[in-house]
Chain A
């Protein structure tokens, strides 16, 4: 099989994903109508569908740990962020719940989702069991949503202050980097199921290992590096946005007067 054949043939049909995507779109249209922000939602839904139905998913399902990691990052960081950004600015979600409004809960959700699902038994189970896999995907989306609420809540007063947000994102990057570093340099396999694919269902093992040159230990390295570097760059982009927010806007301040403080 060539790379081209693989990219054409390895799409998975997944009714649940499509229904969920359609439901999200319909719900959005029903609640808020058509506005400019729906583009974010389209982006989010698009990434969601692609990461679960494209050849990426085929690779993540038993072949490549790194593909799984990319999927993981997309579902945890990109999709929820885009969904938050699609919401109209007046909407308020869960501001009354202490649990959701607490930055520590948000931080633990975002970082915990990375650490928890890379514990060896869970990581293996998410590949071998359909049910655990579904659980993993929904938990990533949910935890990512809780994580981003502190940064991307539509209402200004429900977000963290920009310097606080910078610390929040920075420490999240450090926590994920540590795991990324461990995975990259670990002499043992983090997710052994990827080291010995149980069955070469799609017949692409040869393509991946010989043609692309991604051997299991290189695969794990790339996975760790994805978590270490690009993931931190996602946080960095958010930090840049927070700095712009801080320096650009008089945050929820009364009209400025010249009198001394």
Chain B
């Protein structure tokens, strides 16, 4: 603990004396999850300022009717960049940052499972962000909305480079997010402190864990959609262009298969913050921990099932609409369970309305409103009337700002003392709170009415209709309240960092393990941990006479702790399966009816069969190589490894020859739908084989220069899993692309 209130005292927190010699590198090269968490959050804050300014420009333009402040095109840039930035460069990084900082502390770990991967994830955020914003200098940013519906986002209709930058930057961010998701899962599985069983995970950690599954399942879907769009735009592909035989609706399906769960990817961490803060400031354990935990699993599951409710106005037919109305309404059940549990936690508690608690209670109330308007959108006929009106805008801002931003603010006020060792100002905090909540409700509550009155979203101006002008004026004034609140918040952050009251280890008398260490925690997080028998170890420690009931340890699964590297590779493979799943489904959909023109019959099935056999055989050889390793026969291991590389190489050469002969006969990516889907699917598989070969070569190199006396070389096993996966994908691709046309 640091009682020193001088600036140099704070700098001492940011950097250790040794690091001050090379202070630039200390933060740039860090692999410490705490610093990475802060880097995530600071990056998010920078983009929050940018996207916030864009929001203010939008509101200024809409302040009065027939305004000419922004040109129509500029307006389109603004709402596209505002939406994209807020979701991918603000909400996700800031929440990832909080999870990165808190998760390892809360489960009693020293760091994340893969610290270097963690560093990669955080640096991909500014990289992606800069790519996206570079479009301002390269002919103009995207102007297609955050979901970039085709065919508008296709080359003939958006010929500037904006959409390309948009897609590539989201691809970069998507890869970073998947890496973070893998890291969260493996961290929870392998880095828990002794006694921290899966059932004893505090709700924040449990929800982070569940959320990570959602991340690795759906971000690859977006990645697949983006590469398809890029292939369309850059290689004249035909996926989403109706006049090339493609399907514009397909983009909507794939995008929303990602887009709907994405809402939960940013909402579940907000739920997680609420589930920590509300009990602590009610001085009660959360009401019905099991229900909150289980409802999270159900939300994850249902969120994957209901994307088509974003497409009621597309005209999918009554049958489709009906099923998705029913499934979508169901989501209200697990979210309702959560709301009831949070409310019941406060009932009868000694509630202290500190700034974090205020924000979380506000988040709960705004989420109630946003949730109810959400259910109203699940009803197709109402959705037809209100879709793309300001009613929808009001709805999702209730979720994104009302729930998520308020929960983030609550979380930062709650954990800032842990991160900096200093308290944030309660006095300024209350100002921030009232400015934000009043501003938010001024801005967005009235937009429900505007929407029902018919004001369309994404339109740069509006005529002077009765009532519209003053309502828009109110909305704009509210936005400036929020801007003032945000500026005050940043001021509070800065001033508290240097001048805040020293926090001590546990300023809120909280119960989870992050409060069992100093503020800020030392590099290794803990010197010693209290015993863990329940979900509130510090409560048990402080109240030995009336501890929480012990959460029993039953069966192997509670103490399940898989090998770190294998767990990492398997999680990675799950995410890759999602990516290939989308490409394969797209291939099946587009080739369900036989294409006219040169198609599957041009493929040389016999030749490919021979190359395929080489690839399948390489699965066997790498297995023999592992057997050699376990038998401590290193010569055998290396020999089989070389055989694997040779077989894989033959396959790649074979595929190259096949491509060459196809190109010679004029079959290129842009020729027709078959060619587009064929080259995309087999090309991405080939890319994966190539990466696998690189990894095998690295493993071989390591094997040649080291000797593994104990028969342990986990990298070989990990690459082995990956290699088998690539082979399994080829079994599917080969059957679908080459064998299926022969039998149908």
Q: Is B554 an interface residue (CB 8 A)?
A: yes
Residue pair A221, B298 in contact (C-beta under 8 Å): no
Give A221-261 as 1s and 0s: 1 = Cβ < 8 Å from B's Cβ atoms: 11001001110110010011001101111111100101011
Given contacts A181-B585, A229-B305, A233-B327, contact A247 B552 (CB under 8 A): no
Residue pair A239, B592 in contact (C-beta under 8 Å): no
Given contacts A161-B556, A236-B302, contact A244 B294 (CB under 8 A): yes
Residue pair A229, B199 in contact (C-beta under 8 Å): no
Instruction: List the B side residues contacting A163 at CB < 8 Å.
Output: 198, 557, 560
Report the stretch among B79-87, B317-325, B491-499 that lies at the interface.
B317-325
Given contacts A161-B555, A161-B557, A232-B305, contact A225 B320 (CB under 8 A): yes
B301 partner, pick from A181, A182, A239, A247, beta carbons under 8 A: A239
Q: How far is the CA of A239 from the CA of B559 in the complex (A)?
A: 21
Residue pair B317, A187 in contact (C-beta under 8 Å): no
Q: How far is the CA of A118 from the CA of B198 in the complex (A)?
A: 39
Chain B nearest CB, measured from A256 CB (Å) = 5
Residue pair A253, B589 in contact (C-beta under 8 Å): no
Q: Is A162 an interface residue (CB 8 A)?
A: yes
Instruction: List the B side residues contacting A174 at CB < 8 Å.
Output: 304
Q: Is B338 an interface residue (CB 8 A)?
A: no
Within 8 A of B (CB), among A157-188: 161-164, 166, 170, 173-174, 177-178, 181-182, 184-188
Instruction: List the A side residues contacting B294 at CB < 8 Å.
Output: 240, 243-244, 247
Residue pair B585, A182 in contact (C-beta under 8 Å): yes
Instruction: List the B side residues contacting A120 at CB < 8 Å.
Output: 744
Residue pair B555, A186 in contact (C-beta under 8 Å): no
Q: Is B610 an interface residue (CB 8 A)?
A: no
Instruction: List the B side residues contacting A186 at CB < 8 Å.
Output: 589, 592
Chain B nearest CB, measured from A164 CB (Å) = 7
Q: How far is the CA of A162 from the CA of B320 in the complex (A)?
A: 33
Residue pair B585, A229 in contact (C-beta under 8 Å): no
B317 partner, pick from A221, A247, A258, beta carbons under 8 A: A221
Instruction: List the A side residues contacting B547 at CB < 8 Å.
Output: 258
A164 partner, pick from B302, B323, B557, B593, beta carbons under 8 A: B557
Residue pair B557, A250 in contact (C-beta under 8 Å): no
Residue pair B326, A249 in contact (C-beta under 8 Å): no
Q: Is B700 an interface residue (CB 8 A)?
A: no
Chain A nearest CB, measured from B551 CB (Å) = 9
Q: How far is the CA of A239 from the CA of B334 in the complex (A)?
A: 13
Given contacts A250-B554, A253-B555, contact A170 B301 (CB under 8 A): yes
Residue pair B585, A184 in contact (C-beta under 8 Å): no
Q: How far is the CA of A221 from the CA of B316 in the complex (A)?
A: 10
Residue pair A182, B589 in contact (C-beta under 8 Å): yes
Q: Which residue of B lies closest to A218 (CB)?
A: B319
Chain A nearest CB, measured from B740 CB (Å) = 11
Residue pair A256, B550 in contact (C-beta under 8 Å): yes
Given contacts A187-B593, A222-B319, A247-B199, contact A236 B298 (CB under 8 A): yes
Instruction: List the B side residues contacting A222 at CB < 8 Å.
Output: 319
Residue pair A221, B327 in contact (C-beta under 8 Å): no
Q: Which residue of B lies closest to A244 (CB)?
A: B294
Residue pair A260, B554 in contact (C-beta under 8 Å): no
Instruction: List the A side residues contacting B557 at CB < 8 Å.
Output: 161-164, 251
Residue pair B194, A261 in contact (C-beta under 8 Å): yes
Give B258-290 as 1s and 0s: 1 = Cβ < 8 Å from A's Cβ atoms: 000000000000000000000000000000001
Instruction: List the A side residues contacting B131 at CB < 8 Å.
Output: none
Q: Is B581 an interface residue (CB 8 A)?
A: yes
Chain B nearest CB, measured from A8 CB (Å) = 26
Given contacts A229-B323, A229-B326, A247-B293, contact A252 B301 (CB under 8 A): no
Instruction: List the B side residues contacting A221 at CB < 8 Å.
Output: 317, 319-320
Q: Which residue of A lies closest to B744 (CB)?
A: A120
Instruction: List the A side residues contacting B599 at CB < 8 Å.
Output: none
Give B341-362 as 1s and 0s: 1 = Cβ < 8 Å from A's Cβ atoms: 0000000000000000000000
B297 partner, pick from A239, A249, A253, beta carbons under 8 A: A239
Residue pair B592, A188 in contact (C-beta under 8 Å): yes
Give B222-243 as 1s and 0s: 1 = Cβ < 8 Å from A's Cβ atoms: 0000000000000000000000
B298 partner, pick from A161, A184, A240, A246, beta carbons under 8 A: A240
Given contacts A236-B301, A243-B294, A248-B290, contact A229 B324 (CB under 8 A): yes
Chain B nearest CB, measured from A255 CB (Å) = 9
Given contacts A250-B552, A253-B554, contact A182 B320 (CB under 8 A): no
Within 8 A of A (CB), among B659-702: none
Residue pair A253, B552 in contact (C-beta under 8 Å): yes
Instruction: List the B side residues contacting A253 at CB < 8 Å.
Output: 552-555
Residue pair B297, A243 in contact (C-beta under 8 Å): yes
Q: How far is the CA of A162 from the CA of B560 in the complex (A)?
A: 12
Instruction: List the A side residues contacting B320 at CB < 8 Å.
Output: 184, 221, 225
Residue pair A252, B554 in contact (C-beta under 8 Å): yes
Q: Is B588 an interface residue (CB 8 A)?
A: yes
Chain B nearest CB, measured from A182 CB (Å) = 6
B532 partner, pick from A161, A166, A181, A260, beta carbons under 8 A: A260
Q: How far is the CA of A134 from the CA of B253 in the complex (A)?
A: 38
Q: Is B246 an interface residue (CB 8 A)?
A: no
Instruction: List the A side residues contacting B554 at CB < 8 Å.
Output: 249-253
Given contacts A247-B199, A251-B554, A253-B554, contact A185 B327 (CB under 8 A): no
Q: Is B34 an interface residue (CB 8 A)?
A: no
Q: How far is the CA of A222 from the CA of B533 in the complex (A)?
A: 50
Q: Is B656 an interface residue (CB 8 A)?
A: no
B550 partner, pick from A162, A185, A247, A258, beta carbons under 8 A: A258
Q: Is B597 an interface residue (CB 8 A)?
A: no
Chain A nearest CB, measured from B201 CB (Å) = 12
B195 partner, pick from A166, A247, A261, beta carbons under 8 A: A261
Q: Which residue of B lies closest to A223 (CB)?
A: B319
Q: Is B531 an interface residue (CB 8 A)?
A: yes
Give A13-28 as 1s and 0s: 1 = Cβ < 8 Å from B's Cβ atoms: 0000000000000000
Chain B nearest CB, measured from A73 CB (Å) = 14
A261 partner, pick from B301, B553, B588, B593, beta carbons under 8 A: B553
Q: Which residue of A lies closest to B577 (CB)?
A: A174
Q: Which residue of A lies closest to B289 (CB)?
A: A247
Instruction: List the B side residues contacting A161 at CB < 8 Å.
Output: 555-557
Would you give 24 A-B contacts (Cβ < 8 Å), ordered by A?
A: A161-B555, A177-B305, A181-B585, A182-B585, A185-B253, A185-B589, A186-B592, A218-B317, A218-B319, A229-B326, A230-B323, A232-B301, A233-B327, A236-B298, A236-B301, A243-B294, A247-B290, A249-B554, A251-B558, A253-B552, A258-B547, A260-B194, A261-B195, A261-B532
- Sample of 11 further A-B pairs with CB below 8 A, known A228-B323, A229-B323: A161-B555, A161-B556, A188-B593, A232-B305, A233-B327, A236-B301, A247-B290, A249-B554, A250-B553, A256-B553, A261-B553
